[in-house]
A and B are shown apart, each in its own frame.
Chain A
Amino acid sequence: MALLERSRWYDLARSTNWTPTYVREDEIFPPDMSDVYGLGMDAWETYDEPYKVSFRDYVRVQREKDTGVYAVREALARSDYYEKADPGWMTVMKAHYGGVTTVEFASASTQARMGRFGKAGGLRNMGAFGSLDEIRHTQTQLVFSHEHLQRGNDPEQFAWSHYGNRTNNWVNLAVRHTFEDIEHTRDVVETAVMTSVFEVMFTNLQFIGLAADAAKQGDHRFSSLIQSIQSDEARHAQIGMEVMRLMVREGRRAEVQRLVDISFWRNWRAFAPLTGIAMDYYMPVERREHSFKEFMEEWVIAQFDRTIGDLGLARPWYWDIFLDELEWFVHGQHLGVWLLPNTVWWNPPCGVTPAERDWLEQKYPGWNATFGRCWDVITKNVLDGKLDKIQLEIFPLICHMSNLAITGIAGDGFRVKDHYLDYEGRRYHFGSEVDRWIFLQEPNRYKDYKNILDRYMDGTIQPPTNGGFLAYMGLNEHSWGRDPHNWQWNDRFRARERRAS
């Protein structure tokens, strides 16, 4: 018997809404989970997902993707690439696996929520596939990262891929706070919109930008892995795009804009330290594809402009603040991480050898006169053997939204500001006007949260010592970071001094 083409039956087959008789519609689809803006079932019936996939096709395509990825892995299994790879590149992978893999697993729940509570059949269908996507992403990244445990390449650092999102490490806290806000604690409509902003814009950065860098480093295993993941992201990113179109059609443009504005900023703050530092400081400089700023301009800003333009939305109100931060935010975060290597699960390279400083100045004009001033002092102390002077011995203030240190512009352009807020008798600290604005959009959502500095101050972290703090974050001498080049980067400065003299 001939099979009907999918296009001839899909729309009918996935339209699984009918008029319930034994229960009320709001029992099946509780409004506070399924339709918080009250669009109504007639509106949801117009939901038309751009990607139409049957389960049979989905399984076939995913199987082909997995076959391709695992084939590359098998073909290169005997390669000693990772034994010879630059430590900076190994650091990029450790940061990625530990920061991303278990977040993917949590996202299976996000997609499943759409699969359960979406009022449109197409939304539920795509959500169910999206949930399977996220499980695939988790499994493949666990398999690939586990290879390093077997090889004995800093196994306790690569093991972070198994549990990163469940620790109280400050990096994971920042990522978790972001994704619990936009993915895990909202109704289906807001979740779909905010998750789409993440998937349409920022996964490009992590999975296409980083894939390009991986290929340039010669790491074809990692490159093929994350390209395969991105092919799924591109599909289930569309779930929320159609929700946005629907809301705009139904006169909810202002609400969509607000959700987009919140999500874009939260993602910017989460990805800048995770991806930005990797691209601007950890990648071996001779094989860098682009700067983080250039990747942001190409993959995030251009894509974002196209997307919001198509939807009839505007750029977020804080666009000028964002463009300003694009010039400097990563550099302060990198300084903080490098000065506290034992608080992360990777080995952070300094990334400021003479050649790297030239690259930074070229990509970020003015770097030498701003952040370079701090590195001048640090480098001199290192060259003079005063390693005790490069210890960070007092806490930075931590933003109550991003959970990152409150940083600004160093050196000649000095501009560091705490955008604080007094609310119900408590003082909150924010790294930007935008973080503060997000808090004020829904104070009850955020006001009781304790960042890692609060937990230290109120006695949650015990004992209140350096060791107690590291143990609270799940780190020990096998997993915490150290200089990956064994301080040999100093030799390049000494060589330059010898040449100069």
Chain B
Amino acid sequence: MAADFPVGVAVQGDYETRLVMIEPDATMDDLCAAVAPFVVGRFVPEQPDKTMRIKHQNNAEPFPRDARVKDVLVPWDPVELLFL
């Protein structure tokens, strides 16, 4: 399946929102794995003792880690990657 689902991701501690193209069936953990190499250890510190979680920018709570992108987001939704 093509990585054709655009998501705007702001990584906790980073300075801007980044565009990530992901497969619609990808999980929230997959989304974290897709964006982290481009930001973590580059512009924000690595935090191996914490778990990366995704939440919609307008929500208080993160999505379940196995929630699928196509089920909880619409294309171009803005999310935050948090270290919890």
Interface residues of A (CB under 8 A from B): 331-332, 335-336, 339, 371, 373-374, 376-378, 381, 389-390, 393-397, 405-412, 414, 416-418, 420, 427, 429, 453, 457
**Seed contacts A376-B45, A416-B17; 13 additional CB < 8 Å A-B pairs:** A331-B15, A373-B44, A377-B41, A377-B44, A381-B42, A396-B16, A396-B17, A407-B16, A409-B15, A412-B13, A416-B15, A416-B16, A417-B57
- A390, A395, A411, A429: the one within 8 Å of B18 (CB): A395
Interface string of B38-64 (1 = CB under 8 A from A): 100111110000000000010000000
User: B10 contacts A378, CB within 8 Å?
Assistant: no
- B10, B41, B42, B76: the one within 8 Å of A420 (CB): B76
User: B13 contacts A411, CB within 8 Å?
Assistant: yes
Q: What chain B residues lie within 8 Å of A408 (beta carbons)? A: 10, 15-17
Kindly name the residue among B8, B17, B19, B57 whose own CB sees the greatest number of chain A CB atoms within 10 A: B17
Q: Please, which residue of chain A has its CB at the minimum distance from the CB of B82?
A: A414
Q: What chain B residues lie within 8 Å of A409 (beta carbons)? A: 15
User: B57 contacts A374, CB within 8 Å?
Assistant: no
Q: What chain B residues lie within 8 Å of A406 (beta carbons)? A: 8, 16-17
CB distance from B77 to the nearest CB of A (A): 8
Q: What chain A residues lie within 8 Å of B26 (beta carbons)? A: none
Closest 5 CB pairs of A and B: A418-B78, A410-B15, A416-B10, A332-B15, A427-B76
Known: A396-B18, A397-B17, A418-B57. A390 touches B12 (CB 8 A): no
* Complex Cα–Cα for A339 and B44 (A): 14
Interface residues of B (CB under 8 A from A): 6, 8, 10, 12-20, 35, 38, 41-45, 57, 75-76, 78, 80
- B12, B15, B19, B78: the one within 8 Å of A394 (CB): B19
Known: A377-B44, A389-B41, A394-B18. A420 touches B13 (CB 8 A): no
Q: What chain B residues lie within 8 Å of A378 (beta carbons)? A: 42-43
* Complex Cα–Cα for A331 and B78 (A): 22
Known: A408-B15, A411-B13, A427-B76. A373 touches B45 (CB 8 A): yes
CB distance from B46 to the nearest CB of A (A): 9
* Complex Cα–Cα for A407 and B16 (A): 4
CB distance from B54 to the nearest CB of A (A): 14
Q: Please, which residue of chain A has its CB at the minimum distance from the CB of B35?
A: A394
User: A374 contacts B17, CB within 8 Å?
Assistant: no
User: A417 contacts B78, CB within 8 Å?
Assistant: yes
* Complex Cα–Cα for A397 and B75 (A): 13
Q: What chain A residues lie within 8 Å of B45 (beta carbons)? A: 373, 376-377
* Complex Cα–Cα for A322 and B15 (A): 18
For this complex, 20 residue pairs linking A to B, each with C-beta atoms less than 8 Å apart, are A332-B15, A339-B43, A373-B45, A374-B15, A377-B41, A393-B38, A394-B19, A394-B38, A395-B19, A396-B17, A396-B19, A397-B18, A397-B19, A408-B17, A410-B13, A417-B57, A418-B8, A420-B78, A427-B76, A457-B6
Q: What chain B residues lie within 8 Å of A389 (beta carbons)? A: 41-42
* Complex Cα–Cα for A390 and B18 (A): 15
Q: What chain B residues lie within 8 Å of A390 (beta carbons)? A: 42
Known: A394-B20, A429-B8. A414 touches B13 (CB 8 A): yes
User: A405 contacts B16, CB within 8 Å?
Assistant: yes
Q: Please, which residue of chain B has its CB at the minimum distance from the CB of A373?
A: B13
Known: A394-B20, A397-B17, A397-B19. A374 touches B44 (CB 8 A): yes
* Complex Cα–Cα for A339 and B39 (A): 12
* Complex Cα–Cα for A336 and B6 (A): 21
User: A335 contacts B15, CB within 8 Å?
Assistant: yes
CB distance from A456 to the nearest CB of B (A): 10
* Complex Cα–Cα for A331 and B44 (A): 15
Q: What chain A residues lie within 8 Å of B20 (beta carbons)? A: 394
Known: A332-B15, A373-B13, A420-B78. A397 touches B8 (CB 8 A): yes
Q: Please, which residue of chain A has its CB at the minimum distance from the CB of B20?
A: A394
User: B15 contacts A429, CB within 8 Å?
Assistant: no
* Complex Cα–Cα for A374 and B12 (A): 11
Q: What chain A residues lie within 8 Å of B75 (beta carbons)? A: 427
* Complex Cα–Cα for A395 and B17 (A): 9
User: A416 contacts B14, CB within 8 Å?
Assistant: yes
* Complex Cα–Cα for A373 and B44 (A): 7
Q: Please, which residue of chain A has its CB at the minimum distance from the CB of B42?
A: A389
- B8, B16, B19, B42: the one within 8 Å of A336 (CB): B16
* Complex Cα–Cα for A72 and B82 (A): 57
Q: Please, which residue of chain B has its CB at the minimum distance from the CB of A395?
A: B19
CB distance from A90 to the nearest CB of B (A): 26
* Complex Cα–Cα for A390 and B41 (A): 10
* Complex Cα–Cα for A98 and B67 (A): 48
User: A332 contacts B16, CB within 8 Å?
Assistant: yes
CB distance from B48 to the nearest CB of A (A): 14
CB distance from A419 to the nearest CB of B (A): 9
- A377, A397, A457: the one within 8 Å of B42 (CB): A377
* Complex Cα–Cα for A405 and B75 (A): 19
* Complex Cα–Cα for A331 and B14 (A): 12
User: A371 contacts B19, CB within 8 Å?
Assistant: no
Q: What chain A residues lie within 8 Å of B18 (beta carbons)? A: 394-397
Q: What chain A residues lie within 8 Å of B13 (beta carbons)? A: 373-374, 410-412, 414
Q: What chain A residues lie within 8 Å of B38 (beta carbons)? A: 393-394
CB distance from B47 to the nearest CB of A (A): 11
CB distance from B56 to the nearest CB of A (A): 11
Q: What chain A residues lie within 8 Å of B35 (beta carbons)? A: 394
